[in-house]
A and B are shown apart, each in its own frame.
Chain A
């Protein structure tokens, strides 16, 4: 029986079309996934189902019904009964999707107050029940806490509890696991799968095909506001018909993609890599505490020219602190870091700065928004030294190295795409001809096809220049794809290290085994 029917949905903001004739239906007790990259119209479509398309949106559809009710005729009062009561909505990052100043119990009770006739005390009891149902231990205690006092996983569970509190027939989850660590992500996906029942349908929005593989009965792939492919999950993932679906699937870095190029129209092996050279960074027994809390404990590693070493671990495991110590930005309490045999505490530390560069996740925050690309690169080249008259020429060289060109010199960061910005960040890092680039979650904010291009680019640059990468990522597929060796961190310690194939295929530490098992896989279908 059909719960939701969408026929030829169109949404435009001003003159810009966001959704361009999308059709799908969701049957009772079924899970449909809308998959696509940013700008594909997937979130706009989902929000239209609860009448929150956004300011200035023009919505039209041949049919837009929910349980037989025509949603195009619903007024504000009607929407308030549907939202929370008949359709629950889970937004992505619970840290920003729960009111940071209100206790989580109050957020859940708010739904009960709006959609049930329960008394105040009955609501409190029901909140505890709901928290238990979504797998939150000590529900009474947690209900009295603020979102920031909960871990990412518990927070997401609490947010899911707000969505199911009104016992809705449909739960919409928009990127429900994007901000989560891989093991937590697996737990939340399991929880969402449990929510699906014969009376409750699920609509999952994701950019990640692997995430929906374990959850969805059917998948609709969106591109530029249109559904390009639609079918049962297993069929779409194993025998994609549309070129775009094929390209998306190929772009997902994983075990089997190692040694191949991710971007491009067809599969192609990557050119051979260089053999690792001399040691450029050596960390020896580094430890660091913040306010008595150890963040990094006795971490040692060596990084050779032309090599990529990955650091994986959950949030709070000490990855970023390790990177900051390697960059000379944080001084370790104990242990030493040497760059080409020189210590960060030695007299030549200013010169070392040029040798160790950083590319990080937030491509917009990485630049002064008032600078043009030319100015960004000129500044980096000025620090690197070298004659002023060659700067423009050298800037163009750098841009070409990262797949951009002289035409981008006059642009400002805001007017570049996320992928282009990350290319400029890489160009800037390359300006002083460094021995090492620390990449802290360099592709986490990018769409999978853009991520594929940036990962390919990083490999090309390495082949060209022999630069070494210290590569931090929570995405184990990415790490497997790009890294030669990997360090697995937990609670500030390196619990396992070795060549990436060995660690991923035969993990010896239980924590690594847990991590590997939690990776969402397309092959699990």
Chain B
């Protein structure tokens, strides 16, 4: 596979991503446009504010609210292209700035949770696939329990035991590694449960394949067979589920950040929703859309990295199956 064909793939995906973002931007415009109430009123402080008519007129002119809808739409798109997501009604700062300030804490949490979740899932699945009945039963049972436990409840349990009980970790805040442990665990465990289950099922299927028997007849140790031969095949369904667990991370971050009183986009979103701060909510929506576009691109590249058979060969179209 040539660099050009990879670049072409990336280019097409990014182009499709622009389409997705355009859809999301249009959706945000429709929401803003059709929300009941006077947008100018909302901009200056919501229902409870009592601005003078001059202020309203000034805001209307500044935001182009007296323009026909299509001009407003084009203006809306143009602002987004320039990276201007509007100004928070509540914070009176640009949305990009509001999100930017909170992003680092959430990225930290999400990455930590992703690493912990994946590592747990991998370790448990590799260790328990195709083992004795009770070992698999125990693993599957634990996975089912953590996967079906609500994040907030799991968080409360962790807080009660490790923070209030054993006093090992702080209960709140977003400073330092110690404050990251409990929220990351609360976020990671349900994901690890689901991914571990999927991975073990996939591993058990692969471990029955003839090429695994073949590898064993070469005198390889069991762990080598699992890690070197089986794992790569079993990763495919995991990659397919990337959308799921990225979604779980984003959604879980909202709950976890609130529960552990951490900074982050999740909490920003909650307070924005509570304050009907539409630009911030829509900014987060756009950001999520962009994350999904990027994640799907990475997923497509991961498929190619894991299974070379999927890579397009220059000049040859894949031949239809069943041709002989």
Contact = CB atoms under 8 A, between A and B. Distances in A.
Interface of A: 47, 50, 52, 55, 76, 79-85, 87-89, 91-93, 96-102, 110-111, 114-115, 146, 148, 159, 162-163, 166, 290-293, 295, 315-321, 324
A165 to B, nearest CB: 8
Contacts of B211: 96-100
Interface string B212-226: 011111111110000
B218 A83 contact: yes
Closest 9 CB pairs of A and B: A89-B217, A84-B219, A84-B218, A83-B219, A291-B317, A320-B324, A97-B214, A80-B219, A96-B210
B214 A111 contact: no
B175 interface: no
B206 to A, nearest CB: 10
B323 interface: yes
B320 A290 contact: yes
A279 to B, nearest CB: 26
Interface stretch (B2-10, B67-75, B304-312): B304-312
B309 A100 contact: yes
B49 interface: no
Contacts of A293: 319
B130 to A, nearest CB: 8
B309 to A, nearest CB: 6
Given A146-B309, A148-B309, A84 B324 contact: no
Contact of A162 (B218, B228, B309, B318): B218
Given A99-B229, A101-B308, A115 B219 contact: yes
B214 A162 contact: yes
B232 interface: yes
Nearest to B307: A101
B165 interface: no
B233 A101 contact: yes
B209 interface: yes
A50 B210 contact: no
A101 B229 CA distance: 8
Contact of B213 (A52, A100, A315): A52
A163 B218 CA distance: 7
Contacts of B221: 80
Contacts of B324: 295, 315-321
Contacts of A159: 214
Contact of B217 (A55, A84, A292): A84
Nearest to A112: B218
Contacts of A97: 210-211, 213-214
B36 interface: no
A476 B222 CA distance: 42
B219 A321 contact: no
Given A82-B219, A83-B218, A91-B217, 6 more contacts: A92-B210, A97-B210, A97-B214, A102-B229, A148-B309, A166-B219
B37 interface: no
14 contacts: A79-B219, A80-B219, A93-B210, A99-B214, A111-B218, A114-B218, A114-B220, A146-B308, A163-B217, A166-B219, A295-B324, A316-B323, A316-B324, A317-B324
Nearest to A85: B219
Nearest to B215: A99
Contacts of A81: 219
B53 interface: no
B176 interface: no
Given A84-B219, A99-B229, A101-B306, A295 B214 contact: no
